[in-house]
Chain A
Amino acid sequence: GAGVSQSPRYKVAKRGQDVALRCDPISGHVSLFWYQQALGQGPEFLTYFQNEAQLDKSGLPSDRFFAERPEGSVSTLKIQRTQQEDSAVYLCASSLARGDKGRTEAFFGQGTRLTVV
């Protein structure tokens, strides 16, 4: 596709429900990132994939959060037993090369706005 695509755009979940957020990165992009953005704040790093390998998951807030990218393209962020503090916009970003290479800009999707009620 032309850009990073995320679905759904909006998700309302009841507290305790499991949710799965999907990210379709730009075709051929090696690096994939998930960020969490609270209202009025900048994005906070959650996890990083290089192809199918999850190289860093240090930003995941708890073991209720799980991310995968099994074939090195599409990625899913899963949140189990959602809680109200999980309400935020979840942004996915991809970049062509390894994340530490020079002017390797990350292209962001529009995000999924998760509201836990």
Chain B
Amino acid sequence: GQNIDQPTEMTATEGAIVQINCTYQTSGFNGLFWYQQHAGEAPTFLSYNVLDGLEEKGRFSSFLSRSKGYSYLLLKELQMKDSASYLCAVRNNDYKLSFGAGTTVTVRA
């Protein structure tokens, strides 16, 4: 089976930094994805990691350690529009994405 854990909720102040952790135990690994989902909207792709290390993309960065089954998504210079749910998803050896339950981030002024 697949087990993907991430915190349920996080709150941060506008302009601050927030780190969302994701740990996983899956049968096979072929990449880890982070998606952003605003309420009632489609999940939108943020980042992809398949090798260990940090991937930086503007205000968002994602880190992966395969040996530890661990990833994090780092959001810098938080803006109000960043309030959303952030989904960690692991692709197995085939094509299937297994998602965590999502972390709801609330950005306060």
Contact = CB atoms under 8 A, between A and B. Distances in A.
Interface in B79-109: 87, 89, 91, 93-102
B101 A42 contact: yes
A4 B42 contact: yes
Contact of B96 (A56, A91, A103, A108): A56
A31 interface: yes
B94 A110 contact: no
Nearest to B98: A45
A103 B42 contact: no
Nearest to B40: A110
A111 interface: yes
B7 interface: no
A115 B21 CA distance: 32
Nearest to A4: B42
For chain B, the bracket of interface size reads 20 to 34
B99 A44 contact: yes
B45 A106 contact: yes
A1 B41 CA distance: 17
A100 B93 CA distance: 7
Contacts of B87: 42-43
A27 to B, nearest CB: 17
B99 A100 contact: no
Contacts of A48: 95-96
Contacts of B48: 103, 105
B44 interface: yes
B42 A108 contact: yes
Interface of B: 4, 30-31, 33, 35, 40-45, 48, 50, 87, 89, 91, 93-102
List the 6 shortest-distance A-B pairs measured between CB atoms, nearest first.
A99-B95, A42-B99, A108-B42, A105-B45, A103-B48, A110-B42
